Structures are given as C-alpha cells and as structure tokens.
Amino acid sequence: MNDITGDPREIATLLAIMARLRDPDGGCPWDLQQSFATIAPYTIEEAYEVADAIDRNDLGDLREELGDLLLQVVFHARMAQERGAFAFADVVAAICDKMLRRHPHVFAGASVDGVEAQTREWEAHKRRERDAAGEADTSALAGIARGLPEWQRALKLQQRAARVGFDWPGPEPVIAKLHEEIDEARVEFAAVAAAADDAQARDRLEDEIGDVLFVCANLARHARVDPGSALRRANAKFERRFRAMEALAAADGVSLSQLPLQAQDAYWERAKAAERA
C-alpha cells in the first residue's frame, strides 16, 4: 500500500507562520484585521486561479496557486482556533474521516461497479449523513450549497433532478428549449424598449435571460462539458482576439475606439483569420 502520511514539517511551518501573522503582539496589521467574511472572496479567487493554471497546463503556476489555496484553509482554521471552535488538525481529521467513510470500496473491502455507480454511492453516503444529522429536508435537491457560483449550482440542480428521471432524453430537446427561451427573451427586450421605466418589464427580462442561461447549463451537461470551463475558454478566446484587433489597428496607426463598428468588425475578422492561420 502506498504511504499516505507524508511529512508534517512543512505544514507545521505554515501553521506557525499564520499564527505569527495573526499574533496581536507584532503580527501583520492586515492579517489581524481580517475575518471569515473578508477572507472568503480571496478563497474563491484562489480556487479560480487554480482552475486557470490547470486550463493553461502550467504545472509550475499550479504549484504556486495550490499553495495560495492551502493558505486560505490555514487562514480560516487559524481564525476558528482563535475563537475556540476548531483548529487545522480538526479540519484534516474531518476530511480524512469523510474520505475513508465515503470510499468503502477502497478502504473497507466493499466493491463498486464503475465510475457512475461510485457517483451514485457517493450521493447515497451524503444522504445518509444528512439523515443521521437530523436534516429535515428530504428533497432530491437537498444539500446543494447556496454559496456556489450560480452556473455550478444550476448544474447540480439539474444533475439531482436527472437522478429521479426529470430530464430530457438528449441534447435535441434542450436545443429546442433554448430557442424557445431566446424567443421569449426577445419579446421581453421589445417590452423593455417600449416602456423603459417599467420595473416589471425589466424583471420579466431578467427572468428570461436567467432561463436562457439555465438551459445553456443544461445543454453543457448533456454534452458532458463543464459550463465554467467552456466559459473560461470563450473568455480566453475573446480576450486573445480582441488584443489581436488592438495590435492590428495600432500597426495601421489607428485606435479601435475611434473606429465605427463596421471597421472594428473588419479587424475582428482579420484577428480570427490570423489565429486560424
């Protein structure tokens, strides 16, 4: 069996660094000022930077970003320890216990038939844990965190509903539904244009835009494509091409901001053509 213990010395050093930063007697003023709420956005940001390093296949950067993400765990654990709630060791113990408990096919001699079966068993374990904790919510959608990015929460809601059979049979009806939602959004755009100060019209438009995005997430799920990853790729592509547009315009001695849309579109097509080439 492979060794799964590791060397604790580096972790001990990191914990000592964080304790020193949070020491009221000579610690860092910025670190001392922080709370769970103020650090939470940084935790989310670091998780996305890990995902970005993975997308770029930059393993050196991934090492750095994983360290930054680990620091977030240590930071939260230190603040909890100061309140007498729990410490870093408790966090480690809890996740070790959970991983051993939820992988009986690895650590307890049980068997599981493939990845999909393991996913179902994982969810069953989570359900049993919620039941044991006395959770009153018995919905198939119970336990989906409200703090997730909304695209990710949409995906989880759809996955849970699909497990009880509430799902389209394939991508074609999802695409048809997407066209339907776009048509409904078009109607509400017209309503807002006709009555710009109508708050109800704007609310209806927001609802329809939300429906379009929700169906897009469902389409990604049927394609087995992560919508966050797909959007990151689209963002990267747009940024790459827009920067190329700016460079092409600058080479011609002009600024994009001074050009009409038709001329800007011409630079966009040139950027696309250069990328394909």
pLDDT tens sequence across 138-179:
788 888 888 888 998 999 999 999 988 999 999 999 999 999
15 part of a folded domain: yes
Q: How far apart are CA 89 and CA 147, in angstroms?
A: 25
Taking only the tens place, the pLDDT of each residue in 189-238 is 999 998 877 889 999 999 999 999 999 999 999 999 999 889 988 999 99
Q: CB of 263 within 8 A of CB of 255?
A: no
Q: How far apart are CA 86 and CA 77, in angstroms?
A: 7
Tell me the one-letter amino acid at 149.
P
Tell me the backbone φ, ψ of residue 134, rounded to 5 degrees.
80, 25
Chain centroid offset of residue 209 CA: 20
1 part of a folded domain: no
14 part of a folded domain: yes
Mean pLDDT score, 84-94: 97
Do 236 and 173 fall into the same domain?
no
Q: CATH code at 209? A: 1.10.287.1080
Please name the helix (run of DSSP H) or strand (run of DSSP E) that holds residue 66, with its range, or none.
Answer: helix 59-82
Do 187 and 241 fall into the same domain?
no
Do 168 and 246 fall into the same domain?
no
Do 209 and 249 fall into the same domain?
no
Is the predicted pLDDT of residue 119 greater than 80, yes or no? no
> How many separate domains does the chain show?
3
159 part of a folded domain: yes
Residue where one domain finishes, among candidates 225, 240, 263: 225
Do 213 and 239 fall into the same domain?
no
pLDDT of residue 6: 52
Residue where one domain finishes, among candidates 51, 80, 102: 102
Do 96 and 143 fall into the same domain?
no
C-alpha closest to that of 79 among 37, 132, 29, 134: 37
39 part of a folded domain: yes
Do 66 and 98 fall into the same domain?
yes
Beta carbons within 8 Å of 210's beta carbon, 6+ residues apart: none
User: 153: exposed, middle or buried (C-beta count within 10 Å: 0-12, 13-18, 19+)?
Assistant: middle
Domain span at 197:
137-225
DSSP 8-state assignment for residue 123: H
Do 15 and 98 fall into the same domain?
yes
66 part of a folded domain: yes
Do 267 and 203 fall into the same domain?
no
Q: What is the CA radius of gyration of the chain?
A: 25
Distances (CA, A) of 67 to 23, 118, 158, 186, 271: 22, 29, 33, 46, 37
SS3 content of the chain, % helix, strand, coil (to 5): 75, 0, 25
Residue where one domain finishes, among candidates 225, 251, 267: 225
Do 34 and 53 fall into the same domain?
yes
